[in-house]
Amino acid sequence: MTSATPAKLIAYFGGTFDPIHYGHLRPVTALADEIGVTRITLMPNNVPPHREQPEATAQQRKRMVELAIAEAPLFSVDDRELQRVTPSYTIDTLETLRGEMGDDQPLAFIIGQDSLLTLHTWHRGRDLLNVCHLLVCARPGYRTTLDTPEQQAWLEAHSAEHAAALHAQPHGLIYLAHTPLVTISATDIRQRRQKGEPCDDLVPPAVLHFMDAHDLYR
Ligand code: ATP
């Protein structure tokens, strides 16, 4: 690094956000505090290759993200994946971000524990460490160890014990965060809406209002 001031860690959080909920917002807000980042960019994805198509449209999912973060200066939104017509693999987006930021900028991608467990099925999943760190939020109901001894050894070989290391190198570390466990999933929210059950404590009020106004997940 040539600058006298070390670059601040930049963190992105990708997801289908169908819809965005407190299970996204609360752990990631706590994570920012835990590791000392002041900005997290939410990146709604389009046509996720390993998942069924979202129920809400791309524009509706993006709008719900905007509404959810309207009063939270920690967050911003980047809709670059929604602009693409082809499937947006996470590695492609992170390589693009790395190209934009240069080699020295510490860059991280946030995932939940369930995503870490399936990372080996992602397109070039492990290559992510060549361009960013992985920050993993705990999620209730998911194992904290990986499936095979080989996967677990890979995890341990890249694990960062202390958050400070994330700021000191541009990529290559996995950080298992000590974030609060929040038992909320978008699947559950969609099912509750289908059955006409309340979702008041699961999403921000403005998101609930939007879902009602657009009759989403009914
Ligand atoms: P679905 O139920 O439709 O699979 P989801 O609730 O898992 O959706 P996504 O938008 O797919 O939400 O998740 C984006 C990211 O947020 C993923 O990396 C996922 O692991 C993480 N995540 C989602 N919910 C939680 C939660 N309650 N706690 C921690 N991480 C979460």
CB of 110 closer than 6 A to ligand 1? no
Which regions of 90-132 does DSSP assign to beta strands (E)? 107-112
**Overall pTM > 0.90:** yes
Which residue has a Cα nearest atom 7 of ligand 1? 185
Number of Cβ within 10 Å of residue 3's Cβ equals 7
CB of 15 closer than 6 A to ligand 1? yes
- Report CA torsion sign: 38, 174, 103, 82: negative
Residue 188 pLDDT greater than 60, yes or no? yes
Give me ligand 1 centre to Cα 47, in Å.
16
Residue 177 pLDDT greater than 70, yes or no? yes
pLDDT per residue over 67-112, tens digit each? 999 999 999 999 999 998 777 789 999 999 999 999 999 999 999 9
Which of 114, 142, 144 has most ligand 1 atoms within 8 Å of its beta carbon, as the pocket-test mutant?
114
Residue 185 pLDDT greater than 50, yes or no? yes
